[in-house]
Amino acid sequence: MVRRLVTTATLLAMMVAMPMFGMTSRQASAQDDIKIAYILHGLNDFTQTIKEGAEDAGKDLGVKVDVFGEAGFDIATHQGFMESAIQAGYDGIVVIPNGGDPWNSVIQEATDAGIPLASANNTALNSTLDLWVGQDEYNSGILLAKEVQSQLAAAGVTSGKVVIGNCLPGNPVLVARSQGIRSVLDAAGFDLTEDQDTKLDNTANYNIWDSLATANGDAVAMVGLCSLDPPNIAQVKERGGYKWLGAGYDLETPTLEAITNG
C-alpha cells in the first residue's frame, strides 16, 4: 500500500488513500465522508500554491480538504491548528512540521489517536511520521550551486565570496540545502560565508539582505535558502545597483518577475 502511495503523482492521492487503511470497500467508497486537514507551516505566496493544490485535488477526488495556516510561520500557532484537527476528528492529517523535532509530541498525539498522517516539505525524522513527500534537499542544493557556478563562469567569475542566507537556522531542510550548495562551491574554490540568519519576517528579511549587501561589497553571489529570500535579494540588487548574482528557491511571482526582468 505504501509503495502504491509513493508512486502516485499527486500528494492528495496519497492523502486520500491513507485514511482507507482498515476500511471495507463499502466504507472506502464513501469518499464524501472523508475529511482531510492540511496543516501548513505558514501562509505566503509559496504556501498559497500548496493550499490551492490541496483544495483543488480534494474537489477532483470528492473529499473534503481543509487547509490551515497563518502568515508568520510561527511553530506554536500551527501546532495549535494540528491540535484542533486532532480534536475535530479528521480522518487524516497532512502536516508541514517546520523545524522537525518540536513537532514530535503533537505528531505522537495524532498517532495515538489512530489518525493516518503524511508530511511534506519539512521533515520530522524523530517522530512517528511514516510518509513524507518532498524533494531531495541536499541534491537540490547541489543543483542550485552548479547553476550558480555556471552563471558566474559565463560572466567570467571563477572565485570570490558567496553570501548564504537562512531564514530559519537549524531547520533540517534548510541545513540540507546549505550542505548541498557548499559541497559544490567549496570544492570550486569559492569563499562561502556561514549561513546568515535572514529571519522569517518579510520586512526583517529585506533589511538583513540589504545590510548583507552593504557589508559584503566584494560578494559575487547572494544565495537564499527560503522562499522569501529571492524576491528580497532581487529588490536589494535592483535598488542598490549591485552586480552580484542572486539565487534561491521556490516559484513565487516576484521571483519569476525578477528573472524575467534580468
pLDDT digits 0-9 by tens, 160-178: 999 999 998 988 889 999 9
Same domain, 157 and 237: yes
Query: Does residue 92 sit in the same domain as residue 204?
Result: no
Within this chain, do residues 24 and 121 fall inside the same structural domain, yes or no? yes
Check whether 123 has a pLDDT greater than 70. Answer: yes
Q: Alpha-carbon distance 184 to 195, whole Å?
A: 16
Per the structure, the complete domain to which residue 115 belongs is given by: 2-133
Do 10 and 121 have their domain in common? yes
* 113 and 188 together in one domain: no
Same domain? For 69 and 96 the reply is yes
Burial of 80 (0-12, 13-18, 19+ CB in 10 A): middle
Q: Would you say how long the chain is, in residues? A: 262
Do 154 and 54 share a structural domain? Answer: no
Tell me the C-alpha to C-alpha distance, in Å, between residue 141 and each of 166, 222, 223. Answer: 13, 14, 10
Give CA 213 to chain center in angstroms. 25
122, 167: one domain: no
Residues 151 and 240 both lie in one domain = yes
Task: Quick: pLDDT tens for 191-215.
Answer: 999 999 999 889 999 999 999 999 9
Please state, rounded to an integer, the average pLDDT across all residues of the chain.
Answer: 87
The beta strands (E) that lie in the chain are given as 35-39, 64-68, 92-95, 117-120, 132-133, 161-166, 191-192, 196-197, 219-224, 245-247
Cα–Cα nearest to 120, from 144, 147, 141, 92 = 92
Mean pLDDT of 29-58: 87
Looking at residue 216, the DSSP 8-state letter turns out to be -
Q: Are residues 123 and 143 in the same domain?
A: no
- Pairing verdict, β 35-39 and 64-68: parallel
Q: What is the pLDDT of residue 23?
A: 38
End-of-domain residue from the set 82, 105, 133: 133
Q: How many domains does the chain have?
A: 2
d(CA 253, CA 231): 9
pTM over 0.85: no
SS3 249: coil
Q: Which of 133, 165, 189 finishes a domain? A: 133
Helix (H, G, I), strand (E, B) or coil at 166: strand
Q: Is the same domain home to 128 and 183?
A: no
Give the CATH number, domain containing residue 55.
3.40.50.2300
Domain-ending residue, one of 68, 102, 133: 133
Question: Is there a contact between 20 and 33 (Cβ–Cβ < 8 Å)?
Answer: no
Give residue-wise pLDDT tens across range 49-83.
Answer: 899 999 999 999 999 999 999 988 889 999 999 99
**Same domain flag for 28 and 112:** yes
